[in-house]
Structure formats: C-alpha cells, structure tokens
Amino acid sequence: MAEGLLRRLVPPGVGEVVSAGTDPKPVQGDAIRILAEIGVDISAQRSKPLEEFLGQEFDYAITLCDEAQQACPAFPGAARRLHWSLPDPAAAQGTDRERMAVFRTVRNELAARIEGLMEGLLDRFLLKAYEESA
C-alpha cells in the first residue's frame, strides 16, 4: 500500500519508489480494493524481497511494522532510515467489513505520514533553493 500511495505523490522523474519485504507475499486483494477506493491502482504491483535491492542506494528506507524493524535494523545504502510502527492489515480478523475497516485505518495513517514526509522534503528543497539564490 505504501508504494502505491508514494507513487501517487512523487512526480515522474523526481524520484523512484520501490518497496520490499522481509517475507514477501502476493499483493492482497483487500489492499487493492482499499486503495482503489481513493483512485490508487496497485493491481500490477508485485511483492519483492529485500535482497532484490541490496547494493543499491536510497535516500530513504522506511520500515512499516515492528517485525521488519527487528529483522532489518540497518539497510545498507539508505541515507536515512525511518520507522513507522503500523499494524499489519493482512493480519486483521473478522468479517469482511471489519477487515476492510482495519485496511482503511492503516491506509489513512500511511497516507498522512507519507504526505507529511513529502511536505517536509518540499520545504527543505524550497529552503535550499532560496538559500542558493540569495
């Protein structure tokens, strides 16, 4: 879900967005449905293992659940590391309605955090551009 939300906010040519997991599983149908509600299509995304990106450099590496934080306390090649402790919506139990409510909650929290990160990056970029022009 995070990859899809980030792709929506990062303009083409500005940056590359990738995601990976410590235990990758196929993209969940519930995640596809919950993001489709807000116009984000992740149906073509695939789950990728962390090993696929070892040796590459990244500005940010963001872990989303505590298990990922513990399994991957350092990610070589990441200039900055963030950890957002969020529940894994795939572990949600109950009726379809109850599970979808969990997915919505996580989606909304992810979107808020991503938007905050992007606003902070834009502020830093604008400040740097202003300082360089002064």
Expressed in angstroms, the distance from the first to the final Cα of the chain is 40
Distance, C-alpha 98 to centroid of its chain: 23
Position with higher pLDDT, 70 vs 19: 19
> What is the mean pLDDT of the segment spanning 76-92?
88
Question: pLDDT-based confidence at 4, cuts 50/70/90?
Answer: very high
Instruction: Give the tens place of pLDDT for each residue, 33-81.
Output: 999 999 999 999 998 998 898 888 998 888 887 765 566 556 777 888 8
pLDDT of amino acid 21:
83
- Domain ranges, residue 85: 2-133
User: Does this model's pTM top 0.95?
Assistant: no
> What is the mean pLDDT of the segment spanning 74-96?
87
Question: pLDDT-based confidence at 128, cuts 50/70/90?
Answer: confident
pLDDT of amino acid 70:
61
Q: How many domains are there within the chain?
A: 1
Residue 23 belongs to domain with CATH number: 3.40.50.2300
What's the rounded Cα separation, in Å, for the pair 98 and 119?
32
What's the rounded Cα separation, in Å, for the pair 100 and 92?
9
pLDDT of amino acid 127:
73
Mean pLDDT taken over the chain = 87
